Homo-oligomer: A and B are copies of this chain.
Amino acid sequence: MLISATAWLVGTRVPAAPAQAAPVRARDLGVPFDGTPGTLDAITDVKGVEVGFTTLISGEGKLVVGQGPVRTGVTAVLPRGKDSTDQVFAGWFTENGNGEMTGTTWVEETGFLEGPVMITNTHSVGVVRDAVIAWRVKQGQPADSEYWWSLPVVAETYDGFLNDVNGFHVKPEDAWHALDTARSGPVPEGNVGGGTGMVCYEFKGGTGTASRRLSAGEGGYTVGVLVQCNCGVRDLLRIAGVPVGREIPGNKVWSELRKPEGAPGDSSATARDAGSIIIVVATDAPLLPTQLKRLARRATLGLARTGTISGDGSGDIFIAFSTANPGAAKPTGIHHIDMLPNDQLDPLFEATVEATEEAIVNAMVGARTMTGINGDTAVALPHDKWREVLKKYNRLEH
């Protein structure tokens, strides 16, 4: 079995496959989102931001640890494209910390993010982290001085439901491929990159993105969001405020697997929210690190609109950066920084909330049903059904 993907998305070990159908996005199917999106409705609407993916899909059938099946990948978000030496101001926040985002101690201390934000599966964070350093070394970055170090930002969500996560199939080359092929332009969604094997609200999840553009009076800034969505239980799913999840009959096999540990026979037990979501917020608004932390914290509000209660097992970790103020991390001189007043942040907060909400729905709408280890299947959100539910609640546009 092989689930195809476009060549652009494909990692080094994925055979060629028929091109995926044209992407489908939630907005196009009639979800009434608030606010004005950017041209692409993607994180790449923020000028300079590039996104790359390595998608690893191979094997089928019974899990043999180390042999597959493989349903995983790597996502790279590059704030200033391939230039990883000019740091960006950044801030981060964790709504629930059952997850990992390396490099955040350094972000918190200095207010800067150096290099890309990488996202992969839980057990491949390490290989990707060191691979980012190696990639920078290959670029010749320590040339000017041997006294150079790097503390990459690498985040994860868990794909062990579909993927041989303990087989460590992500290799340094996969991280490099995501970095090297990163580009601006439209961003594929669903089963791509780090999002390949993810599950969201007990439907197939993965990668999603969206953006908002502020009015000229508000400064004309852009906020872009990219999520790797793996969180939530079905009953809680809301789209445009409508309780979609509970109106679509459950995927029993999946729910069984997600019952609370230690209570296998307790039929009253609610499904656990053992997934995670990584949210990357980019903007070109000139914000200080303290202000970017505030943006990161708003991701919670956008996430909440989709219904989750941020379960105990969820790693809901967010990072926000600004592409403004190039050169702000140069080691000498007095820097002259542009800063938007706190009093002008509300439109950016609103944009972050809205784009986060839409990116999550896009991740689900863009995902395709996937079968992974042991034949287990994560079913994609059925488009006809959720649209029917929205219509029932008078919330479907068109």
Residues of A within 8 A of B (CB): 63, 65, 94-106, 108-112, 122-131, 133-134, 137, 142, 145-151, 154, 158, 160-161, 165-166, 168, 215, 217-218, 236, 238, 240-243, 257-258, 260-263, 266, 268-270, 272-274, 286, 288-291, 294, 297-298, 300-305, 308-313, 315, 317, 328-347, 349-350, 352-353, 373, 392-395
Contacts and interface: CB of A to CB of B under 8 A. Distances in A.
Given A131-B126, A151-B100, A257-B147, A346 B309 contact: yes
A290 B329 CA distance: 14
A353 B235 CA distance: 14
Contacts of A261: 145, 147, 331-332, 343
A43 B137 CA distance: 37
Q: Which residue, of A106, A154, A241, has the highest number of chain B Cβ atoms within 10 A?
A: A241
Given A97-B110, A105-B317, A241-B238, A346 B311 contact: yes
A160 B148 CA distance: 8
Contact of A111 (B238, B242, B288, B334): B288
Contacts of A166: 133-134, 137, 142
Contacts of A154: 126
Contact of A332 (B108, B330, B335, B341): B341
B330 A262 contact: yes
Contact of A338 (B103, B266, B312, B334): B334
A157 to B, nearest CB: 10
Nearest to A242: B241
A260 B125 contact: no
B334 A262 contact: no
A106 B110 contact: no
18 contacts: A98-B109, A102-B125, A105-B315, A122-B150, A125-B126, A125-B130, A126-B133, A134-B166, A149-B158, A218-B268, A218-B270, A261-B343, A262-B343, A263-B332, A310-B349, A334-B340, A337-B338, A394-B394
Contacts of A342: 110-112, 312, 329, 331
Contacts of A258: 147
A330 B341 contact: yes
A109 B343 contact: no
